[in-house]
Structure 1
Amino acid sequence: MTRRTRRRERPVLVYDGDCGFCTSSVRFLERHVPVRATVVAYQFADLDALGTSAERAAYEVLWIDRAGRVSGGAEAVGRLLTEAGGPWRALGVIMRVAPVSWAAHAVYRLVANNRDRMPGGTAACMLPAAERPGAAAERPGAGG
């Protein structure tokens, strides 16, 4: 399915707002990295307008660049760091080049698949998105 997106002033970082680990990770980034993006929990984002779905946003953190291209997981984190500039830019670029990108993807999936066990993680992180308390389908304006 092709979605039409418009050019944005700022990139958008979309994360799982129902997951304590994800929320803690985003807050850490906001405190320590100059995040030059609009940061929004997918449960409160217009996902269709962003060119993505609730299923993808529940699976991985997403980076939507100014042109509307969607990147997920370790690639999204690498793009966020690249956009941050300074020493973060180098780390972000390195994360997105093989073979480092392969390792970054493996580590990202390992952490994402076990986020309920990570510091700040909750039992809600284990549940499929539709079964979590306050599921996105019950929220007005949520994509899905």
Structure 2
Amino acid sequence: MSDHARPVLIYDGDCGICTRCVAFVERRMRTRAEITAWQFADLAALGTTAERAEHEVLWAEPGGRVHGGAQAVARLLIDAGLPWAPLGWVARIPPFRWIAHGLYRLVADNRHRLPGGTPACALPADQRPGARGR
């Protein structure tokens, strides 16, 4: 069971695209979530692992449930209220859920190739510059 009082959005702080997306969220969305890079989070206390955080963005709820990938983004959109929430609700229902998952994986798996991506995105966390035995 986690002990945080509000949701936590966990992202890859080494990824340029992830960092830019988080900057957009912080500028444009009203969310009650704490936003933190997984490299600086107490992942065990949030109910997850570094392996999962390397693979996808995560939404850790206060009750201990953790959503990943497109469903983490959907939870963020819902939490942000209007005008974002309807997109989040749609992304939770089939067939849109499946489409959202496919698009999320396409972007996540190719983020190092996209504008704003960094070479570090292509490496496992323990091989990135400055890795501290994560």
2-structure distance, mates of 1:128, 1:55: 9
User: Does 2:3 align with 1:16?
Assistant: no
Which structure is higher in helix share?
1
Q: Cα offset for 1:87?
A: 2.1
Q: Cα offset for 1:36?
A: 1.8
Gaps of 5+ in 1: 138-143
Output the aligned Cα RMSD: 1.2
Matches within 5 A, 1:32-71: 32-71=28-67
Aligned to 2:25: 29
Q: Cα offset for 1:30?
A: 1.4
Quick check: 106-115 or 24-33, which moved more?
Answer: 24-33
SS of residue paired to 2:98: helix
1-structure distance, mates of 2:132, 2:125: 7
Matches within 5 A, 1:62-141: 62-137=58-133
Whether the 8 Å contact between 1:124 and 1:132 is mirrored in structure 2 is yes
TM-score by length of structure 2 reads 0.95
Q: Cα offset for 1:136?
A: 4.8
1-structure distance, mates of 2:120, 2:16: 8
Deviation by residue 1:90-139 (Cα, 9 ceiling, x = unmatched):
111111111000000000000000001122111110001110112252xx
User: Does 2:5 align with 1:5?
Assistant: no
SS of residue paired to 1:39: strand
Whether the 8 Å contact between 2:2 and 2:62 is mirrored in structure 1 is no
Higher RCO (CA < 8 A, seq sep 6+): 1
